[in-house]
Structures are given as structure tokens and as C-alpha cells.
A = this chain, B = another copy of it.
Amino acid sequence: MKKVEDFRVLGHKWLNYSSYIIELEAPEPLSPVQPGNFAEIEISNSPHVFLRRPFSIFDANPLTNTLSFYVKVIGEGTRVLGKARKGDKVNIIYPLGNAFSIPEKKNILVVAGGSGIAPFILYGKAMQKQGKQVTFLLGARKAEDIVLTEMFRPYGEVLITTEDGLLGEKGMVTQHSIFIGKDSPFEHIVTCGPEPMMKAVAGIARKKKVSCEVSLENTMACGFGACLCCIVETVDGNKCVCTEGPVFNINQLTWQT
């Protein structure tokens, strides 16, 4: 059941100079949330933000009725949300969008770049429950942008690449040594991050002939299928990223490899 509700800010945890986790409490029992779902958050205290902002649901706790979001500051909305104070009301529409599938195969690789890590805590938890084996490959330009590795570890091995080489392997995620060789130890890949990265990951998946799901971003006015602003080209024509995504199997997309 989609809901529009005033959540109460419980607090932020700043992870580095530009990203934080914000935790919010629902006024009533949480609607069930699936890994991959997102929410539309209203920013009501800035003269420069008009529309809601979409964020993946980072974590959901039905016992405490809390949602949390991993947010990277890139503009006014994410900046202002980072300044909300304990007790402030924040209006949220959730849960929105579809969810990652439960793959048939066992060995799953998660590839996350930048703020693309956001959906994968919930995903890791769910896959663990399903008895899957997950490996997280996290990439960033700079080592200081690699955050939350400790939060991922309970759900699988964590591999890292950084372009500055100060943490994990040097280079981009797609250059990580796990991709070397013709065969893949992984039977299913899920990815979220900058579009060029996701395209490259999709290319690898195709080459290695493993199934692959991507979580797309888009410019959204509504988040729930009303505006048709957020389309992506698919083999069946344009689809709404907010209702028919954000998760797409790469076979649905018209991306060239």
C-alpha cells in the first residue's frame, strides 16, 4: 500500500564530507518495503526546491517503524535534508517502484558505484534470508567516498575499487580482478550507480552470459506514474522508471553493449 505520511526525523549519521544516513520514524506501522523500492521525499524548507526528491530505501525496520536513507549531497535538496533537525516533520511517499527479483541461481554479485550503494543493504538482507551468497563490489573515485563497508559485511564479502587506488584495487569497478577470465564465479549481477558504470557492468554480464538487473535513475516529477517524465527506452517501447522500474533486467533495455 502506497502511503503519504509525515515522518519524524530521528537523526543523521554523517559518513563523510558529503553523504549521510537519515533515519525517520513513521506515524503508523510501516508498509512492507522490498529491496529496490524508493520513496519521494518532500523538502519543505528551501526556497529553491519545488518537487519531491527520490531516494532508494536504504533500510526499513518494521519493529521501530523507521526508514532510513543513504543520501549523497549533490544540490540544494540533499543539502537541506542533511540539515533537518531531530523532531522535524518530513513528508514521504513510499514505497514506490518495483523490486529486485529473487534470482534462481545462488551466487550474486552486487556492483555499486557512488550513491548506488543505497538499495543494497535491504537487498543483502533479503538475499541472505533466501540463502543466496552475495558479494558486494563497491567502487568510488576516491577512497574517502567508500563508506559503509562494515554495514555490508554481515551480508557478504565486500570488494572495493577506487580510482585513486588508496583503498581496494585501483581502477574502476569494471576493472576489478574478479572480472578477469572468461568464466564468472557469479551467476547473477545486480548494479546501481552512474549510468556509464551500469552500462559497462551490463556489458560484462552479457559477455559472461549471466543475468543482470540494473536500478536506474531518472528525472522524476511525481514518482508514481502520473507524469510520464521518467521514461527509459525498452524493447517494448518507453517504460516509466518510477512504476515499471527502477529495476530493469538488462534484456529489457535497448542499451548497446
Please tell me the size bucket of the interface on A: under 10
A44, A47, A49, A50, most chain B CB atoms within 10 A: A47
Bound form: Cα–Cα A50–B46 in Å: 11
Q: What residues on B are CB-neighbors of A49 within 8 Å? A: 47
A82 to chain B, nearest CB (A): 14
Is the C-beta of A45 less than 8 angstroms from some C-beta in chain B? yes
CB-based nearest B residue for A42: B47
CB-based nearest B residue for A47: B47
| Contact residues of A between 80 and 98, Cβ < 8 Å to B | 85
The 9 closest A-B pairs by CB, nearest first: A45-B45, A47-B47, A46-B47, A44-B47, A45-B46, A47-B49, A47-B50, A85-B85, A45-B47
Task: Given A44-B47, A47-B50, A85-B85, output 6 extra A-B contacts at Cβ < 8 Å.
Answer: A45-B45, A45-B46, A45-B47, A46-B47, A47-B47, A47-B49
